Structure formats: C-alpha cells, structure tokens
Amino acid sequence: MKKFEQSWAEQLFELREMLETHALQHFLNLPDSDARWLQAKTLLERHRTLRDSIGDSFRMFSQLDRDFHSLLLSAADNIFFNQSLEIISVIFHFHYQWDESDLKQRNIIAIDEHMTILSALICRSDLDANLALRNHLNTAKQSMINSIKQSESLAH
C-alpha cells in the first residue's frame, strides 16, 4: 500500500475546497422556506452545547462534524457531492490515522470555526461565510500536513 503523502493531502483538500465552496454558494441562495435554514440554526445550537460542555465530550465532535459538512454539501443537490464526504473520510482513515495527541484542541478549534461559518450563513453574509469556510479548510489542511510530517519524522 502506498503511503499517504503530503501532496495527496493537498490535492484532496483542493477537491474538498471546490466541493464545499460550491455547495456554500448554493446554500446561501436557498429560498427562505428551505428546511436547511432551520437545520443550520439547530446545528449551531448543537455546536454551542458541545462547546460549553467540551470537557470529556470532545470525541462527540465527529458526528457533529459529519452533520455540519453533510448539511453544507446537501445544498448543491448533487448525489456526487453528497457522497464525497464519505469518500474523503474513507481515504483519510484508510491511508492515514490521525495523531490524537491534540485531538481535543483541534476539535475545539473546529467547533469555533463551524460556529463562525454557521453564524455567517444564517445571517446570509456571503463574504463572511466564504472567508470562514476557507479559514476552516486551511486549518484542517494544516493540521493534516503537520500530522503527516510528524508521522514521517517518527518513522525515521
């Protein structure tokens, strides 16, 4: 099996950025009556609840993360977008196991970033939502690259 390299991580994040920024544009243009606006508000509350009780609950973030990205991608109304999250997750977990030493801190950061995106989305602030999403994707990308570098240094 080939090792999951930094260049592959960068390419995968490029795909993820294209999918999620495209889906975000669709989300921002959903009609007021679309049920996903209420889902976004509910998801924001779920993020607040987890943030306020993060303590030993930080591992519960994975489902919240999946729900967040699934909701965002659903706005594109594209079956391939809907399935892309699963495919990307499988690739990451199959080729690479995350270093969990700073998992709690990474989850806290991601919760805050999700809340920033959701708040901007709910307020229909296109620019703020786009900037917050790009910031979130860059944080995730950098975390993965740092983990890859760390695992490479441990292997030598």
The domain that holds 72 is classified in CATH as 1.20.120
Judge whether 7 lies within some domain: no
pLDDT band at 81 (very low <50, low <70, confident <90, very high): confident
In contact, 21 and 134? CB cutoff 8 Å: yes
**DSSP label of 33:** T
Once rounded to an integer, what is the mean pLDDT over residues 68-95? 83
3-state helix, strand, coil in the chain (%, to 5): 85, 0, 15
Q: How confident is the model at residue 73 (pLDDT cuts 50, 70, 90)?
A: very high
Handedness of CA 126, 45, 72, 18 (dihedral sign): positive
Give domain status of residue 49, yes or no: yes
Residue 6 lies in a domain: no
* Domain count within the chain: 1
Reported as a single tens digit per residue, the pLDDT across 105-140 is 988 999 999 999 999 999 999 999 999 999 999 998
Range of the domain at 92: 19-26+36-155
**Does residue 5 belong to any structural domain of this protein?**
no
pLDDT of residue 110: 94
pTM for the model: 0.90
pLDDT tens string 33-55: 999 999 999 999 999 999 999 88
